[in-house]
Amino acid sequence: MNHVSEVVVITGASAGVGRATTRKFARHGARIALLARGTDGLEAAQREVEKLGGTAIVVPVDVANAEQVEAAAARVEVDLGKIDIWINNAMASVFSPIKEMTPEEFRRVTEVTYLGCVYGTLAALKRMLPRGRGTIVQVGSALAYRGIPLQAAYCAAKHAIQGFCDSLWCELIHDKSAVRLTMVQMPALNTPQFGWVKSRLPRKAQPVPPIFQPEVAAEAIYFAAHNPRREFYVGMPSVKAIVADKIAPGLLDHFLARTGYESQQYDGKEDPNRPDNLWRPVRGDHGAHGAFDARAISCSPQLWASEHRTWLMAGMVVLAISGLVALFKNK
């Protein structure tokens, strides 16, 4: 399917999931607005988009600033045209026990990860609602349902996005709006964030295995943008975490108390003086992938099944009917 005329806004587009998603849309000829703080990564992403056959503009913005986000949306519609898809992907985090966190760190993570999503949604709705069309994609996480130790600020912000979407889904239905909203709950991903997120861990941070490549996330986001349903769970680990939390959250508390510290670290002492991106971007182009290529999974059978669920269900119905017919014939 080719969506040549689409105008797409991607926040956090300079690296990681945002960068992989940018490439995915570029291959389909989209006109893409690249939003993030780091100009090095944004300019590199723009060059990639153009090589892949798309069109891109660079819009340096801190999504924690509502005025900057609104100004970015206005510029996009002047330079590229009416926004069809808005993807809220920007995030910030701190790896730290809660008792060692500062109020300023909690506020910053919340402003970027949660309020940045809210501000992006408001800017998109301002333009999409009067036109009666458009799709908003919230990049969520299994952690939107199940918090883990050492990432309290990030988990809380993702929980907040999920609650915000609950309210917005109700309002869009009430207003009989054709604007679509979807939230994509991600698994652990091999992105550069683990090398630039502020950390107080004794060893280097890692995603909780199993780890998926960011292209898996990009595929899910692209599919969700064009086939929006309420939510997408990406990867079997996300399904397991979300379902288990609904059934036995207390047991998960104890399980994560035993395993959640070790599973988020790997061999190698953390450098307490390395640059982090909490308050300002880390210089350079960091691309889409992190340091875990050797361990990362490049596909998800669960995601494929989710994308093709209509055909799979139809096939199951056909098999069931065929079985019943055979049963009655044998009687």
Residue 325 covered by a domain: no
* 171-172-176 Cα angle (round to 5): 115
Residue 319 covered by a domain: no
Residue 316 covered by a domain: no
Residue 224's CB: how many other CB atoms inside 10 A? 25
| Catalytic-role residue among 119, 154, 222, 233 | 154
DSSP letter assigned to residue 150: T
Q: Which domain holds residue 100?
A: 7-299
For the chain, give the number of residues: 331
Give this prediction's pTM.
0.92
Q: Is 119 considered catalytic here?
A: no
Separation of alpha carbons 175 and 190, rounded Å: 39
Structure tokens at 24: 């995915």
CB 4, CB 28: distance < 8 Å:
yes
Residue 243 covered by a domain: yes
What stretches of the chain adopt beta strand conformation (E)? 7-11, 31-36, 55-60, 85-88, 94-95, 135-141, 180-186, 198-199, 203-205, 211-212, 231-233, 265-269, 296-297
Residue 225 covered by a domain: yes
Structure tokens at 275: 């640059």
Per-residue b or e along 243-261, where b marks 16 or more CB atoms closer than 10 Å to that residue's CB: eebeeeeeebeeebeeebb
Separation of alpha carbons 155 and 152, rounded Å: 5
Indicate the pairing of strand 85-88 with strand 7-11.
Answer: parallel
Structure tokens at 139: 């990049």
Cβ neighbors of 118 (< 8 A, separation 6 or more) are 164
Measuring CA to CA, how many Å separate 222 from each of 23, 84, 101, 300?
10, 13, 35, 15
Q: How many domains does the chain have?
A: 1
* 197-203-209 Cα angle (round to 5): 75
**What is the structure's pLDDT at 42?**
98
CB 87, CB 8: distance < 8 Å:
yes
Separation of alpha carbons 290 and 212, rounded Å: 11
Q: What are phi and psi of 206, to 5 degrees?
A: -145, 160
Structure tokens at 202: 């004794």
Residue 328 covered by a domain: no
Name the residue type at position 59: V
| DSSP letters for 62-104 | -TT-HHHHHHHHHHHHHHT-S--EEEE-----EES-GGG--HH
Structure tokens at 108: 């910053």
CB 54, CB 30: distance < 8 Å:
yes
Q: What is the mean pLDDT of each run of 10 residues along the chain (331 residues)?
A: 78 98 97 97 98 97 98 98 98 98 98 98 98 98 97 98 98 98 98 96 96 98 96 95 96 97 94 94 96 94 82 57 58 60
Residue 25 covered by a domain: yes
CATH code of the domain covering residue 229:
3.40.50.720
Residue 305 covered by a domain: no
Name the residue type at position 297: I
CB 41, CB 49: distance < 8 Å:
no
Separation of alpha carbons 140 and 152, rounded Å: 15
